Amino acid sequence: MEQSSEESIRDLIRKRLASGQLRSTDGMIVNARIDNGACSACELEIEHGESATLGYLYRDSVYHGFHARCVVLWEEERRPGSSCHADHANQ
Ligand SMILES: [Zn+2]
């Protein structure tokens, strides 16, 4: 199986941020739950061999696990400055 391209992962992340499946706020970084299954960003299975896997735990006990590469993309996409559209700033 081919790896997803970075652009397609970014696209997924944007859609998931828009739909609320991914959050734009920081959770608490925790040890990844390897047996938790799929990555919250790219939806691919997180293999046991992937040592650099990160988990985020939110105040309401929601857990999201990510591949290390997907965390980087998520952090870029959730920053307002990374997109081109200019919303009305309220500050
Ligand atoms: Zn992933």
Mean pLDDT of 38-45: 89
Asked whether residue 91 carries a pLDDT value surpassing 50, the answer given is no
Residue 60 CA to ligand 1 center (angstroms) comes to 22
Residue 89 CA to ligand 1 center (angstroms) comes to 32
pTM over 0.75: no
Grouping H, G, I as helix, E, B as strand and the rest as coil, residue 20 is coil
Residue 43 CA to ligand 1 center (angstroms) comes to 6
Residues of 24-63 as b/e, b for ≥16 C-beta within 10 angstroms? eeeeeeeebeeeeeebbbbeeebeeeeeebbbbbeeeeee
Query: What pLDDT, in 10s, does the model give residues 63-89?
Result: 898 988 898 999 999 887 645 544 444
* Model confidence band, residue 35 (pLDDT cutoffs 50, 70, 90): low
CA nearest neighbour of 12 among 35, 45, 40: 40
pLDDT at residue 1 in the model: 47
Q: Tell me how far CA of residue 80 lies from CA of 52, 75, 76, in angstroms.
A: 26, 10, 9
Residue 39 CA to ligand 1 center (angstroms) comes to 4
**According to DSSP H, which parts of 1-91 are helical?**
6-19, 68-77
Q: What is the mean pLDDT of the chain?
A: 80
